[in-house]
Amino acid sequence: MSTDTDHDAVRGVFGLDFRTADKIYQGALLASAVMFFVIIMFPIYWMFQSSLKTREARRAVTWLPSGETFTLQYYEALIGGDVALYLFNSAVVTLGTIVCVIVVSLVAGYGLARLNFGYKEDFARFLLFGYMFSPIVLGLPLYLIWKQIGLLNTRVGLIIALTAISMPFSVWLMWKYIQTIPEAMEESAWVAGASRWRAFRDVIVPQTQPAIIAAALFAFALAWNDFTFAKILLPRNEATTFAPGIFRLISQGYGAPWGDVLAASMLTTVPPLLFAYFLQSYLLKGFQIRSL
């Protein structure tokens, strides 16, 4: 419908026949897609080719590293040292956050969708108030609390903080999605002798796979790219994650290992792109709430 409207608009403005207007529209659509792709991918390309150059070669502007300037030493350097530690910490924190978000959002979303209790709707709306506070506002009180209970400078403390931030969206998504699953399917399992837990595991969980992947992708992006919470809750260098760790390296001055930074940045950029690309069909299904 929108394509026909666009065609009519092009024909009305330029007085062209339908075939010509269609070619102009398709050409403009392709040109805009190419331009958008170039704008998005050019920084990644430049970061990648720069990470394959020697330090002297990066001083000159070239599109590709030549045989003399090509090197893999910066990627080899990621095997050990501070950068490797930052990447490992980020991977552990991200995986832990994803697991916690999926488990808690599934249980909470199921409870909101299937159980009746007082002020349920008000409780669900109250969850969204978590987005009204910026991470820096929450990070400072968490620093004092975590210091008192021994969670400061621990991956577990950061995982708990990031899980709490991801919860409002994930619980809402799971709640709305589970509401679209007919209760008769669970009742059939109960009649067959299944417990509520088994019906939840065998009936609900398999059908919520798109919502689970959408929540996992959201938690992955939040935890993998987190800077504020990691900077505040992980002040020690050996416990910090990639983003604040790279910031510390850059803050050291002109002697910062830019080659290592570029290589590490490339490694942290690729996983979210691949994750989103291969799971995009499930992601879109997760955001499509079916009619009851």
- The pTM of this model reads 0.78
Same domain, 134 and 270: yes
Q: What CA–CA distance (Å, rounded) separates 105 from 167?
A: 7
Residue 172 belongs to what domain range?
75-287
Same domain, 63 and 188: no
- The pLDDT of residue 146: 93
For the cut 80, the answer to whether the pLDDT of residue 36 exceeds it is yes
- The pLDDT of residue 102: 94
Same domain, 66 and 153: no
Q: Which of 71, 98, 117 is the last residue of a domain?
A: 71
Q: Which of 26, 48, 71 is the last residue of a domain?
A: 71
Q: CB–CB of 179/262 below 8 Å?
A: no
User: Within a domain: residue 172?
Assistant: yes
168 CB-near residues (< 8 Å, 6+ apart): 127, 128, 129, 130, 131
Q: How far apart are the first and last CA of the chain?
A: 26
Same domain, 60 and 138: no
User: Measured on CA atoms in the order 58, 39, 14, 18, is the torsion positive or negative?
Assistant: positive
Same domain, 50 and 87: no
Same domain, 56 and 83: no
pLDDT in tens, 16-35: 566 777 788 788 888 888 89
Query: In 115-260, where do the E strands start and end?
Result: none
Tally of structural domains, the chain: 2
For the cut 80, the answer to whether the pLDDT of residue 172 exceeds it is yes
Q: CB–CB of 218/170 below 8 Å?
A: yes
Same domain, 273 and 220: yes
Same domain, 234 and 246: yes
User: Within a domain: residue 218?
Assistant: yes
Q: What CA–CA distance (Å, rounded) separates 167 from 108?
A: 9
User: Within a domain: residue 292?
Assistant: no
Q: What CA–CA distance (Å, rounded) separates 106 from 216?
A: 11
User: Within a domain: residue 179?
Assistant: yes
Same domain, 66 and 131: no
User: Within a domain: residue 160?
Assistant: yes
Same domain, 63 and 88: no
At residue 162 the predicted structure's pLDDT band, cuts being 50, 70 and 90, is very high
Same domain, 64 and 82: no
Residue 53 forms beta bridges with which residues?
70
User: Within a domain: residue 189?
Assistant: yes
- Over range 206-234, report the average pLDDT: 89
Same domain, 93 and 47: no
User: Within a domain: residue 272?
Assistant: yes
Q: Which of 13, 42, 71 is the last residue of a domain?
A: 71
pLDDT in tens, 57-111: 666 667 777 777 788 777 776 776 777 888 889 999 999 999 999 999 999 999 8
Output the average pLDDT for the chain: 80
- Over range 265-271, report the average pLDDT: 81
At residue 271 the predicted structure's pLDDT band, cuts being 50, 70 and 90, is confident
CATH number for the domain including 283? 1.10.3720.10
User: Within a domain: residue 206?
Assistant: yes
